[in-house]
A and B are shown apart, each in its own frame.
Chain A
């Protein structure tokens, strides 16, 4: 019986999975049906489904169907690529901001530029870096979904054991290095901090705010040349190299499995560069943590953020309009406060911070106030070019070579720039 049930469930999944995108032939009358691939799990999935139910009840002319998309947020790009190729795509999908340039090239991606000019949408209420991440060459392809930014999490017990005070306001990268060194206890298996050296973006994105703070950049504004081997770049990677090779205060994480977070939870790391998404886990693990903005360079505490988007795909005009209406509702301050309370996400609109319920949310997630305030330090996003992932891979290689002490900083960065320039020079996209 149980097996029969499971088989039936699988069949239903297959049927809905196939049917999700193929409802092109809808009756002209009756509610407009749209499908959303939200890519969320656990508490986040429940929250979004709850909100969709509310929307369906209050908007009889539109019916939103939720599906996970059969993929988590990480795996959504390959999934949506396949769906677009086979014409079975949803109306809305949850996609990382760094994928926007790729997605925008597809002719089935909707253009909401006119829609967001409607004053009721309050487009300017979204943070600037979010609006930038969902706009590709002047074309708005969806709505901001989630925003985050990088902060330093510190384990109060580990710092206290090393005789250290929590980071003071206005701390510098030199302070960061000194604290990491003092918190390291090789005998006990405690490291000052961690840095990923696997081949992915996680090895790279923490480097950019250091470079930005010192006045450097990743690429030239026209995205034709890589410039991260500037003095600012060499200083940033040089500081990391000194920490990893000379001080031996950095746990070099070669796994893609977020081992760093587990080590931080179990009291083996003093300082941890991360973001708001780990707070629910830290609370569950009962870690005595604190949150601080990134260390600064000459008083500049610029951070990096990775906004995620709800991207809309075009089936016909009615469905695009229905999708935009739904997203305008979903991203409105009132609904967002519900979502934030359920998931610990940051406010995506400035006006949310002025709602009466905002204080409850701050009380629920310890340290979220610091991360929320830190949004003002997120001034830039990574370059919006389809070549960025390739450039990032070259930098990841340079970071690994340097931190393992196999290459000096200048050689590694110069090589990465030469490879990036070659990749950027290829015509197309």
Chain B
């Protein structure tokens, strides 16, 4: 008798606990629900749809037939895809180290109390804020082979004129430079914030111990901002792999496919060549590659004992 009463009271207790948890859940989901729906609707559903699309020959006008893995097989024999891979790879290899090194150095330079420092800091962020269309048009004029400022300067200095954006062998390097110019202000801002977080005691202790500029930089600043370095590297990889807008506004992938990037190629495949299924397959290969790069990068970083 007493044991049943006990169990009944436990059950009642559990029920009220369950009810409370249910109430908490409803409150929680009513806050998180709209955002979850947005993420589901605008990210996950399209991703699933694109995956399904990559197994068809759809042109977005007609439903398309199921072609299994044919799109992925065709990729292996597509020279333009490999060219896009090479172009994007070049951008990645040049841009990531350059943006990290230059970003940190400029951030250190900007971390001092001089008159008008706000102005200098703003200067480095402006290119990041300006729209890609404006940057593209401007740079198109600067790096023009025949009428551009860049070649005008070279000519003044008595140096040979370069092909720049008109040259298949130079165009991607020029685009990388433009990309670097527009994005590295972001690294500067992040690094600057991180440097200002370094406690003054540590810096003072270092200077009392007789550490010079280089020692302070090498043994205090660089290790202190390492989490930011990892964040910026991951962010930069994603940014560089998705490079599209400046290609659209400066070269349209030319001359002779020299500046076709993966995302630009996806866009061409889906919207100008009406092969959306194939385009989705390329997009998925890009997705898998990005994921792999980032996972490997983070694992390496974690093994070295750094967490973001």
User: What residues on B are CB-neighbors of A429 within 8 Å?
Assistant: 59, 274
Report whether over half of chain B's contact residues are helix, strand or loop; otherwise say mixed: loop
Best-buried of B136, B165, B250, B275 by chain A (most CB within 10 Å): B275
Closest Cβ–Cβ distance, residue B132 to chain A (whole Å): 13
Contact indicator per residue, chain A 250-285, by CB within 8 Å of chain B (1) or not (0): 011011110100010000100000000000000000
Contact of B140 among A77, A203, A259 (CB under 8 A): A259
A429 to chain B: closest residue by CB = B59
Inter-chain contact total with CB atoms closer than 8 Å: 104
Closest Cβ–Cβ distance, residue A270 to chain B (whole Å): 15
- Interchain CA distance A103-B61 in the complex, whole Å: 7
- Interchain CA distance A203-B253 in the complex, whole Å: 12
Closest Cβ–Cβ distance, residue A403 to chain B (whole Å): 9
Q: Are B251 and A84 in contact (CB under 8 A)?
A: no
Cβ-based interface call for A308 (8 A): no
User: What residues on A are CB-neighbors of B268 within 8 Å?
Assistant: 393
Contact indicator per residue, chain B 237-257, by CB within 8 Å of chain A (1) or not (0): 000000000001111111111
- Interchain CA distance A81-B274 in the complex, whole Å: 10
Q: Are B57 and A397 in contact (CB under 8 A)?
A: no
Cβ-based interface call for A198 (8 A): yes
Cβ-based interface call for B65 (8 A): yes
A197-B60 contact given A257-B137, A389-B272, A389-B273, CB 8 Å threshold: no
User: What residues on B are CB-neighbors of A406 within 8 Å?
Assistant: 168, 256
User: What residues on B are CB-neighbors of A404 within 8 Å?
Assistant: 163, 166-168, 255-256
- Interchain CA distance A189-B145 in the complex, whole Å: 11
- Interchain CA distance A189-B144 in the complex, whole Å: 13
User: What residues on B are CB-neighbors of A191 within 8 Å?
Assistant: 146
Best-buried of A77, A255, A389 by chain B (most CB within 10 Å): A255
User: What residues on B are CB-neighbors of A393 within 8 Å?
Assistant: 268, 272-273
User: What residues on A are CB-neighbors of B65 within 8 Å?
Assistant: 428
Q: Are A189 and B257 in contact (CB under 8 A)?
A: no
Q: Are A105 and B59 in contact (CB under 8 A)?
A: yes
- Interchain CA distance A200-B167 in the complex, whole Å: 16
Q: Are A386 and B251 in contact (CB under 8 A)?
A: no
Contact of A189 among B61, B147, B252 (CB under 8 A): B147
Chain B positions 112-147 with a Cβ under 8 Å from a chain A Cβ:
136-137, 140-141, 144-147
User: What residues on A are CB-neighbors of B272 within 8 Å?
Assistant: 389, 393
Cβ-based interface call for A396 (8 A): yes
User: What residues on A are CB-neighbors of B260 within 8 Å?
Assistant: 199
Cβ-based interface call for B62 (8 A): yes
User: What residues on A are CB-neighbors of B168 within 8 Å?
Assistant: 400-401, 404, 406
Q: Are B146 and A199 in contact (CB under 8 A)?
A: no
Chain B positions 53-76 with a Cβ under 8 Å from a chain A Cβ:
57, 59-62, 65
Report the count of interface residues on B (CB-CB < 8 A). Answer: 37
Cβ-based interface call for A117 (8 A): no
- Interchain CA distance A404-B61 in the complex, whole Å: 37
- Interchain CA distance A390-B136 in the complex, whole Å: 25
Q: Are A254 and B251 in contact (CB under 8 A)?
A: yes
Q: Are A256 and B61 in contact (CB under 8 A)?
A: no
Q: Are A400 and B57 in contact (CB under 8 A)?
A: no
Closest Cβ–Cβ distance, residue A121 to chain B (whole Å): 27
- Interchain CA distance A191-B147 in the complex, whole Å: 11
Closest Cβ–Cβ distance, residue B207 to chain A (whole Å): 50
Q: Are A254 and B255 in contact (CB under 8 A)?
A: yes
A197 to chain B: closest residue by CB = B255
Cβ-based interface call for B171 (8 A): yes
- Interchain CA distance A390-B278 in the complex, whole Å: 13
- Interchain CA distance A393-B147 in the complex, whole Å: 26
Chain B positions 249-294 with a Cβ under 8 Å from a chain A Cβ:
249-257, 260, 268, 271-275
Closest Cβ–Cβ distance, residue B83 to chain A (whole Å): 10
- Interchain CA distance A198-B268 in the complex, whole Å: 14
Q: Are B271 and A78 in contact (CB under 8 A)?
A: yes
Q: Are B256 and A386 in contact (CB under 8 A)?
A: no
User: What residues on B are CB-neighbors of A197 within 8 Å?
Assistant: 166, 254-256
User: What residues on A are CB-neighbors of B145 within 8 Å?
Assistant: 252, 254
Q: Are B256 and A401 in contact (CB under 8 A)?
A: yes
User: What residues on B are CB-neighbors of A257 within 8 Å?
Assistant: 136-137, 140, 249
Q: Are A198 and B271 in contact (CB under 8 A)?
A: no
User: What residues on A are CB-neighbors of B57 within 8 Å?
Assistant: 428
Cβ-based interface call for A58 (8 A): no
Q: Are B257 and A397 in contact (CB under 8 A)?
A: yes
User: What residues on A are CB-neighbors of B146 within 8 Å?
Assistant: 189, 191, 251
A82 to chain B: closest residue by CB = B60
Q: Are A255 and B140 in contact (CB under 8 A)?
A: yes
A105-B271 contact given A396-B254, A397-B257, CB 8 Å threshold: no
A255-B165 contact given A84-B61, A428-B65, CB 8 Å threshold: yes
Q: Are A386 and B257 in contact (CB under 8 A)?
A: no
- Interchain CA distance A102-B165 in the complex, whole Å: 33
Q: Are A200 and B252 in contact (CB under 8 A)?
A: yes
30 contacts between A and B (CB under 8 A): A81-B61, A102-B61, A102-B274, A105-B61, A106-B62, A107-B62, A191-B146, A197-B166, A198-B255, A199-B254, A252-B145, A252-B255, A254-B144, A254-B166, A255-B250, A256-B248, A256-B249, A256-B250, A256-B251, A257-B140, A259-B140, A259-B141, A389-B273, A396-B254, A400-B254, A400-B256, A401-B255, A404-B255, A406-B256, A428-B65
Further 9 A-B residue pairs, CB within 8 A, beyond A255-B165, A428-B65? A81-B61, A106-B61, A107-B62, A197-B254, A256-B249, A256-B251, A390-B273, A404-B166, A404-B255
8 closest Cβ pairs, A-B complex: A199-B254, A400-B255, A199-B253, A198-B254, A400-B256, A198-B252, A255-B140, A256-B252
